[in-house]
Chain A
Amino acid sequence: MATAANDVSTKYEAVIGLEVHVQLLTKTKIFCGCPNHFGSEPNSNVCPVCLGMPGALPVLNQQAVEFAVKASQALNLVVNETSIFARKNYFYPDLPKGYQISQFDKPLAERGWIEVTTAEGALKRIGITRLHMEEDAGKSMHEGFADSDAKTYVDLNRTGTPLAEIVSEPEISTPDEAWQYLTKLREIMLYTEVSDCNMEEGSLRCDANVSLRPRGQKALGTKVEVKNLNSFRFVKQALEYEIERQAEALGEGGTIQQETRLYNPGEGRTYTMRTKERAHDYRYFPEPDLLPLIVTAERQAAIRATLPELPEAKRARLIAEYGLSAGDAATLTATRERADLFETEAKLAKSPKRLANIVLSELQGRLKAAEIELEDSPVTLAGARLAADLVEEGKISSKILKELFDHAFEQKLDFPAIYEKEKPQQITDSAEIEKMIDEVIAASPKQVEQYKAGKTTMIGFFVGQIMKASKGKANPAVVNEILVKKLSE
C-alpha cells in the first residue's frame, strides 16, 4: 500500500459498524429439546423440530430468553416488554425450514452502548442499535470428504442453537476502537455467563461494515461488509487493510463498490466474495407459530437481580479498595473467574496490593513464558497469597521469593508445598546478623557518612549488602531493626 496511514487519517474518516453473533450457552436448543452441544457426532443432536420436518413446531426455550435478556441488560440495552419473532426467508441446504426464525422490526432489546477509549485517551460510547434472538443454521461441509469435489455434506447439529445478534451503531472510528468494542463485549458475555465466546468453535462470530468519507463530510460513503473474521486480531487487521484499500481507491479518484469481502488472514488482505447488485429480499413476516415474546417488567427485574458485578464496575472497585493501578486491575479482571479468585485471596491477604504485584510480576510472567493459563498454573492464587504474606511479614526476601517461584514452576508444585520443601534457613540470630552488619558498616564509611548526613534512603544500600552477604537468608525485619540502631549510634 502506497498510502501512508497518517495520510489516510488526515484525509478520511472511517465509519465502522459491527454485527456480532453470540451463541447462548443454554442446555437445549432455542426451539426444541435437543442438546445444545458442540462437537457431537454429525447429525446426532437433532429432532423433527430442528430438522424442519413437516408439521413440526417451535417452542421457545425460556433459558434462551433469560440469557438474551441478561446480555441485553449487561450491554445497557432497553429490553422491550413485547418482541416479535419473524421468519427470514432464504434457501440454503443448512437451513432446513427454508427460513430462519429471527426477530425483525420488534427485537428483544434496543439502544445500548459499550465504552471504549479513543486514541486521544477520551472515553467514547459506541451505541448498540439492537440485540435480537434467532436460531443458528446448520453447517455445510464443502471439504474433508473423499467425494468433496462432487458433494457437500450438511451437519444439522448446530441448527437451532440460540443466538443473540448484537448490532452496533456505525459509530466506531478506528480498528482499535473496534477491537476494544469486541473485547469488552466478549468480557461482558463471559461475566454474565451467557456464552463461552469461543471464536474457534464459532460461538462468537463477527462481521464488520466499513466505509470511508472525507473528514468533515456528513454523508456516509459506500460500505463494504467484511466476513471471515475469526479473531479480534483479524478484525483489526482486516479493518486496517480495508481502510487503506478504500482510501487508496478514493485517493486515486475511484469509487468503492458495495460488496461483501472475505478476509484472508494468511495474506492480510480482503477479497471480493459477492457484489450486491441483487440485494437479498428476505420477505420477513411475523412468525405465526410463535406468540409474541412478553418479558414483563417484573421478569426483567428478576433477571437483572441475577446480573453479576460487571467488569467495569469490578475494575473501579478493585482500584478503589485495593489500591491497584488501572492496568493491574484490567489484567486481574480479564475473566470473571480470575477476578473472583483474586478477590477471594485479596480479602485474606495481609496486603492485597502486594498480592496483586506478585500475581502480575512473578505469576503472570512465568505463565506467559511457559504458555499456560492461570487455571493450569502450578502456583494457585492461594499459593501466591501465602507468598505475598511471607514477603509482607518479612519472612522471605524478594530474592528468595523469585527462587521459590522458580522451584515451584520447575517441580510443578504449589507455593505452600515448595515453601515447606525449600524453606530457606533464615538467619534470625541477632548476634550473627549484628556481626554481618558491623562488617558492612566498617567496609562502607562513605555511605555511613551520607546516611548520617540525612540521606536515610541509604538504608536500602546497607540492607542490600547484608542480604548479599547472607545470601538472602538474613531475616529482613531483624536486619532493619539492628541496622537502624547501629547507624544511629
Chain B
Amino acid sequence: MNLDLLTIEEARGLVQSREVSATALTEAHLARIAEKDGEIGAFLTVTREPALAKAAAIDRLAEKGDPLPPLAGVPVALKDVLMTRGVRTTAGSKFLDHFVAPYDATAVSRLEAAGAISLGKLNCDEFAMGSSNENSAFKPVRNPRDTTRVPGGSSGGAAAAVAAGFAVATLGSDTGGSIRQPAAFCGVVGMLPTYGRVSRYGLIAFASSLDHVGPLTRTVKDAALLLEVIAGRDAQDSTSADVPVAAYSAECGRDVKGLRIGIPREYFAEGLDAEIRAAIERKLDALRGLGCEIVSVSLPHTEYAIPVYYIVATAEASANLARFDGVRYTSRAEHAKTLAEMYRLSRSEGFGAEVKRRILLGTYVLSAGYYDAYYRKAQQVRTLLTRDFQNVFTNVDAVITPVTPTAAFKLGEKTGDPMEMYLSDIYTVTANLVGVPGISLPCGTNKEGLPLGIQILGKHFDEATVLRLAHAVEQVK
C-alpha cells in the first residue's frame, strides 16, 4: 500500500481499523523524509523518537478497541514558528539556532491532544518574513513539483511537506499570505482562519494583528478536520474570539446552490497571469453550473493594501522582534564591550537581511514625526479596506480571487528585488488586514505543469461557507 499521499480520514481509518499501525505509518513517513528531504529541505528538525513514542501510545489505544481521537495516528509537521515544548524551535533564524521551546503553542497542544503525531519542525522564511522561503537562515526549500522553483513562503516547508508526502497535514502561519501562497505554488490546500479563530499563543509573532495559524492539507475536508481541532477560544490569547466552532467537515459536500459569489474587478486587472485567469474562469463556470450566482463586485481600496501591509506589519515586527536581543535565550555576540554594543552586534549577527530591512522600516514608521504620516495613516486605510469587504459582504456570501499573480517562480529569480517579491502577495495581504477567513486550493496546472491556485474569502467567522464552497470548487472538474 502507498502511504505517501493519504488524507486525514484515510490515515486515521487505517490506524483505527488496525490495518496499518500508527507506528508503521510514522515509520513510513520518517523513511520518506530521510529519503527525499535532502533534496527538498522542508524539515529543520525531525523528531523521530517522540514521534515513535506517540505512535506506540496511539497503537496501544487502538489495540484496546477504544474510539480514537479525531487525528489519531495522523502524521503532521509544524512550521518552525510554533513553540514546541522540549523541541528546538528556530523560526528559521540563526538567532534561535539552539533555542529549545519551554512550552507548546495552543494549536500544537490541541493537535497533540487530538492524537496527531508530529514528525518535526518545518523550514520557513526567517521569522515568517518572505514569499519564497529563500530567507530561511538554514537552507532554501525547493518546490516538490519542480525543484528548480521556490515553494513560496513563508510556510514553504509546510506546503512542500504536504506536497512531497512527508506529512498528511501541516500547520503554518499566515501574516500576509504565508499559508495560501505556498499552498498555491505547491498544489495543496492552505487555510487562513478568521483572525481570532485560532489561538496565536505560542506562535512566534511577526505582526500580531495580522498573524494567523492555519492548516495546510491535501484536501479541503482535511483542512476542515484540522481546523475543527485547533479552532476556538483560548484564554491565553486575548484576541482569540469566543465564537462557536462549527462542524466544518460536515460542510464539505453540502449543496452550494444559491450561493452568491463576488468577483472583485480589482483582483483581475493588469499583472495577472493569463493561465491563472483562465483556470479560475473555468471553475466559475462550473460553479454557475452548480447553481451559484457569480457577480462582479468592487473592493476599491485594494491598490493600497500592499503599502498599508508593509507599514503595519513592519511596525509590529519591529517591536515583536525586540526580545531577540542577546540577553536571554538568543545567541549573544562575543567581545561586546558595552551594553549598546552587545545589542548591536548580537542583532547584527543574529538577523538576516530581510528581517533587518523590515525592523528598520517598522522602526522608521513608528518614529516621532513619522508616526502620523505612516502608521496612523495606514491604520485609517486599513479601516477603509475593512469597509470595502463589509460592503461587498452585504451582497455576496463569498469572494473568489487569484492567490498569486503567477505560478511558482525560480529560485533566485526575485531575491534581488524586494519590491518585486512583496508584490507576489498582492492578492493575499488584504485578508490579513481585514481579518476575514480565506482558503487557497488547487485550480489545475499551467502548460509547464505547475500548480495554480484559487482563493475564496468569506465573512468574519464564516469558515463554514468558505469550506463548503471550496469543497465544491475542489470536486468540480
Contacts and interface: CB of A to CB of B under 8 A. Distances in A.
Given A48-B102, A285-B375, A57 B201 contact: yes
A99 B321 CA distance: 10
B203 A285 contact: no
Nearest to A98: B322
Interface of A: 48, 51-60, 87, 89, 91, 93, 96-99, 154, 281, 283-285, 288-291
Given A91-B343, A288-B207, 20 more contacts: A48-B103, A53-B103, A54-B91, A54-B96, A54-B99, A55-B203, A57-B238, A60-B238, A89-B319, A91-B322, A281-B367, A283-B366, A284-B366, A285-B371, A285-B375, A288-B209, A289-B208, A289-B238, A289-B239, A290-B238
B113 interface: no
B23 interface: no
Q: Which secondary structure dominates where chain A touches chain B?
A: loop
Nearest to A47: B103
A258 B322 CA distance: 29
Nearest to A289: B208
A51 B238 contact: no
B473 to A, nearest CB: 33
Contacts of A284: 366
A291 B239 contact: yes
B339 A93 contact: yes
B319 A55 contact: no
B323 A96 contact: yes
A48 B102 CA distance: 8
17 contacts: A52-B323, A53-B83, A54-B83, A54-B91, A54-B329, A55-B81, A55-B202, A56-B201, A56-B202, A98-B319, A98-B322, A154-B327, A283-B318, A283-B367, A285-B319, A285-B371, A288-B316
A417 B215 CA distance: 77
A93 B327 contact: yes
A332 B63 CA distance: 76
Contact of B238 (A58, A87, A91): A58
Interface string B97-110: 00101110100000
Interface string B197-238: 000111111011100000000000000000000000001111
B325 A91 contact: yes
Nearest to A280: B368
B205 A55 contact: yes
B328 interface: yes
Contacts of B239: 288-291
A51 B101 CA distance: 13
Nearest to B328: A96
A283 B371 CA distance: 8
B325 A98 contact: yes
A45 B148 CA distance: 51
A290 B208 CA distance: 10
Given A54-B91, A58-B238, A91-B343, A285 B315 contact: yes
B406 to A, nearest CB: 32
**Residue among A51, A89, A91, A284 with max Cβ neighbours from chain B (10 Å):** A91
A59 B239 CA distance: 9
Contacts of B81: 55
B367 A55 contact: no
B89 A288 contact: no
Contacts of A52: 323, 328
Nearest to B237: A57
Contacts of B82: 55
B455 interface: no
B363 A283 contact: yes
A60 B103 CA distance: 20
B236 A59 contact: yes
A243 B117 CA distance: 70
A97 B322 contact: yes
A290 B239 CA distance: 6
A83 to B, nearest CB: 15
Contacts of A60: 238
Contact of B322 (A59, A99, A281): A99
Nearest to B344: A91
B205 A87 contact: no
Contacts of B105: 55
B200 A57 contact: yes
Given A91-B343, A289-B239, A55 B83 contact: yes
A310 B274 CA distance: 75
Contacts of A290: 238-239
B366 A51 contact: no
Contact of A51 (B209, B316, B328): B328
Nearest to B205: A55
A97 B327 CA distance: 11
**Residue among B102, B200, B323, B328 with max Cβ neighbours from chain A (10 Å):** B323
Contacts of B96: 54
Nearest to B200: A57
Query: Sorted from nearest, which 3 A-B pairs have the closest CB atoms?
Result: A98-B322, A288-B208, A283-B366
Interface string B69-83: 000000000000111
Interface in B346-400: 363, 366-368, 371, 375
A53 B329 contact: yes
B223 to A, nearest CB: 23
A55 B236 contact: no
A394 to B, nearest CB: 67
A56 B329 CA distance: 14
Interface string B309-324: 0000001101101111
B382 to A, nearest CB: 12
A98 B368 CA distance: 18
Contacts of A54: 83, 89, 91, 96, 99, 101, 204-205, 323-324, 329
A88 to B, nearest CB: 10
Nearest to B342: A93
B343 A291 contact: no
A87 B83 CA distance: 23
A159 to B, nearest CB: 12
